[in-house]
Amino acid sequence: MKIRSFDVYIVDLPTIRPHQLAMHTIVSQSIVVGRVTDEEGREGWSEVATIGGASYGESTPEAIKANIDTYIAPLVIGKDPVHFDKIMYEVSQEVRGNNFAKTVVETAIIDLAARSKGVAAFELFGGQIHTSLPIAWTLASGDTAKDIEEAKEFLHQKRHKIFKLKIGKGDPFKNVEHVRKIKQAVGDEARITVDVNQAWDEDTANYCIAALEDGGVSMVEQPLPTWNYEGMARLTARFKVPIMADEAANSIQDVFQISKHRAGNCIALKPCKAGGLTQTKKVAGIAEAAGIGLYGGTMIESSLGTAICAQLYATIPEMKFGTEIFGPLLFQDDLTLEPIKFENFEVIIPNGPGFGVEIDREKVKHYARSL
């Protein structure tokens, strides 16, 4: 069994409502989809989502596709997909960085390898520990009354009891009051977290985190720019509320430095940041050794990308802060034939062959920029 071809598509999926971050507001999500085919005609599929072109990071969808087509795909043709770790090690010797692109390639190969053996992909990573995981939702209307109403409705539906608010855009002090009012309204029924997306300086963070901590917020994500490890360490030491590193945790080396200098006491896992599932498991191991809590992060993936994340997160012993892989709930449509299931405040881990979902080729064709 050898790899015969690797194809890459850029897909744009519309959302049900705007999803606002500090650097970009998502109304249509750009997703890179990979398809690997072996000599027997079997396929493996993968997905990496991107945010706002180059506003979130350097890996734009156009660059991901170009670098796979030109530099990475030729390195994997003719290789046995079962040896995916060896393949990606060899790729890393020839291609620097490009973690998003490497994730597209590795996950498609893993899907193919697992399907060839008739097993779920999590069986290739030590097996499934969790059958479901807690799932957060982002409240994003910007209207306090509407956000409270939405939170209470989702609590009633048993869909979510962890709610995140993106507060990196606009007046930070007004945003803090908005969060405090929501926490007061839901009380102990739900956990409230915030994501600053690097938007604050250290003075603003010191004031605002004190107010958020006093208001009962349970986590503050990436309050400072990625380069400010020392500032993140000072905030972590000063406050009781956990400080999460997300955009700063972009590789196993980054996570080692965060752990060493305590520049955060929890980390958001995202396979695309680390360069694939194998590297993400290494990140989790470093964090576990350092006593740093883990959170199953998202780049707002469709069901395919969500299944990939869910299966990997299901192999990690403790996801102390739950997960945020709600992407399928935000889209008007999807790229798979079956939906990801959300029940009793949790996401259910798909357990079929490969990543447990089947691609809808007609939907890929419909939403792809070109085929």
Provide the annotated active-site residues.
Answer: 166
Name the phi and psi angles at 347, rounded to 5: -95, 135
Give strand pairing partners of 6: 36
Residue 181: what residue type? K
Exposed/middle/buried for 170, CB within 10 Å: 0-12, 13-18, 19+? middle
Are the CB atoms for 76 and 113 separated by under 8 Å? no
Query: What number of helices (H) and strands (E) belong to the chain?
Result: 13, 13
Q: How far apart are CA 337 and CA 331, in angstroms?
A: 14
Query: Residues 55, 30: contact at Cβ < 8 Å?
Result: no
Q: Is the dihedral of CA 108, 114, 120, 122 positive or negative?
A: negative
Cβ atoms within 10 Å of 153's Cβ, excluding its own: 11
Distance from C-alpha of 276 to C-alpha of 354, rounded to nearest angstrom: 15
Q: How many CB atoms lie within 10 A of CB 30?
A: 21
Nearest to 279 by CA among 299, 305, 255: 255
